[in-house]
Amino acid sequence: MNKLLLIPALLAVATAEPLTFYQKPKPLPPDARVEDWPRFFGPRDNCTTQEAPLLKEFPASGLPKVFELERGESYSSPILVDGKLLHFHAVDSRETLDVHDAESGKRLWTFSYPINYRDRYGFSPGPRTSPVVHQDRIYLVGVTAMLHCLDLKKGELIWKRDLAKDYQIPQYFFGYGPNPVVWDDLLILNTGGKEKKTSGTCVAALDLKSGETKWTHDDSWGASYASPVMAKIQEREVALVLAAGESRPSHGGLLVLDPRNGKELARFPWRAKIYESVLASSPLPLPGNKVFISDCYQLGGVLLEFTPDFIPKVIWKERFFGMHMMIPQVIDDHLYGFAGRNIPDTELKAVDLDTGKIKWADEMRWRENERVTGLFRGSFLRANERIFSLGEDGSFVELSLTPDKPRILQKTRLFYARDTWTPPVIHRGLLYVVQNNDGFDGSSKRLICYDFRQPIPKEKL
């Protein structure tokens, strides 16, 4: 039976402020467009924002820092809502949510709980997911599948669920990874439980206010490392869940579910026939009842179109356009993404959205201080017409992407460190980047806030 835990507020004892403050940011222009970043891939689940205007030219001395925060173990993304910065990481075997003022870095409150997790492949023992904020509540899922609902303003615990216990979720390859998604009054999660021999609770929907289970979808496919996404297909709201898990033989793919009751509307198998393979790039809904999904291990990318009776039709397949974990960008009638499984075989590629034909592929590498560097398995951040990318070892660039060729418009070095997989975030003209590993340059794990605001002309001050 599922056990719902409603308990009083519980705040961790505050530790020393892990803050280094450098300088106040420039004033926010009076005509600035700003918006929150309430979940992992942003307000539209595709790493895009309407923020403007932003810094036009990168200074030769590097982007100016506002502050930086010490970072524990984590792959979690910064979440920015209503002037607050949410930083989710593991510190001394406790998963910890620190909430800071977004412009000064000052900590407002902290919440933590103990975890016992060791990654079997030697990766970070911290959270893979990011907080989800909805109507002054935070929904927080950690690497061991502990789910907490917190009050955004004070950090008070409203309810919690031990998902691993309730749904018999195994550790999987790298712990629990998919972010939840909010729809109506439900929190939808790819739980991937193993309650039964042949199937378990693959997807569950919980009541936002109480945490009570409202519906479940049983399936033999488990939890992936891609997050569910809401979309509209054939004028009907649906939940797109890329499910996978750990199985022999490997199986998984796309589930299209009715979010009202968890009923399956469609399924499309799409996963490499390799035991140690995962699905980590979230589904990308596209106009015309289409969805793009990908696997970087063996199959590549596939564009699906759904008929009025929700039969998935393959528009095209491209073996060499499979994303590992990033979200590709659609610009006009082309799709751009960092395709490939590992650093040696990763390239930035352009694909014709109608045909699936690869128009070009570019390694996006250069030599810097006697070191070969580049974007590798990079991530995008698109702000209106401007396209930025954070490279896997800490480079940051602005790109021009066209069907003819890619071009680096400007670039800067933030730090030298491996596993820089967490997408960057912009909020109120400030750029937030996390360094997940200690750097080759002697730097430590940290979350850095940069001043990315365009200076206000003197005549307008």
Domains and CATH numbers, the chain: 19-460 (2.140.10.10)
Unique residue bearing structure tokens 């001395």: 61
Give the tokens for residue 300.
């590549």
- pLDDT, residue 317, reads 98
CB 109 within 8 A of CB 146: no
Below-70 pLDDT ranges, the chain: 1-16, 195-198, 459-461
- pLDDT, residue 7, reads 37
Report the chain's C-alpha Rg in angstroms.
Answer: 21
- CB count, 10 Å around CB of 192? 31
- CB count, 10 Å around CB of 273? 11
CA distances in angstroms from 195 to 2, 165, 214, 247, 423, listed in the order given: 12, 10, 17, 15, 34
What does residue 74 show for φ and ψ, rounded to 5 degrees?
-175, 155
Rounded distance between C-alpha atoms, residue 451 and residue 26, angstroms: 7
- CB count, 10 Å around CB of 1? 5
- pLDDT, residue 198, reads 65
- pLDDT, residue 16, reads 61
Cβ burial, residue 149 (10 Å; 0-12/13-18/19+) = buried
DSSP state of 455: P
CB 428 within 8 A of CB 399: no
CB 290 within 8 A of CB 269: no
DSSP state of 5: B
Rounded distance between C-alpha atoms, residue 34 and residue 52, angstroms: 7
- pLDDT, residue 302, reads 98
Give the tokens for residue 136.
């002054």
- pLDDT, residue 195, reads 59
Where in 170-235 does DSSP place strands (E)? 181-183, 186-189, 200-207, 213-219, 229-233
Does this model's pTM top 0.85? My answer is yes
Per-residue pLDDT of 329-377, as tens digits, reads: 999 999 999 999 999 899 999 999 999 999 999 999 999 988 899 999 9
- pLDDT, residue 196, reads 59
Rounded distance between C-alpha atoms, residue 21 and residue 66, angstroms: 6
- Give exposure, 438-455, as e/b (b: 16+ Cβ within 10 Å): ebeeebebbbbbbbbbbe
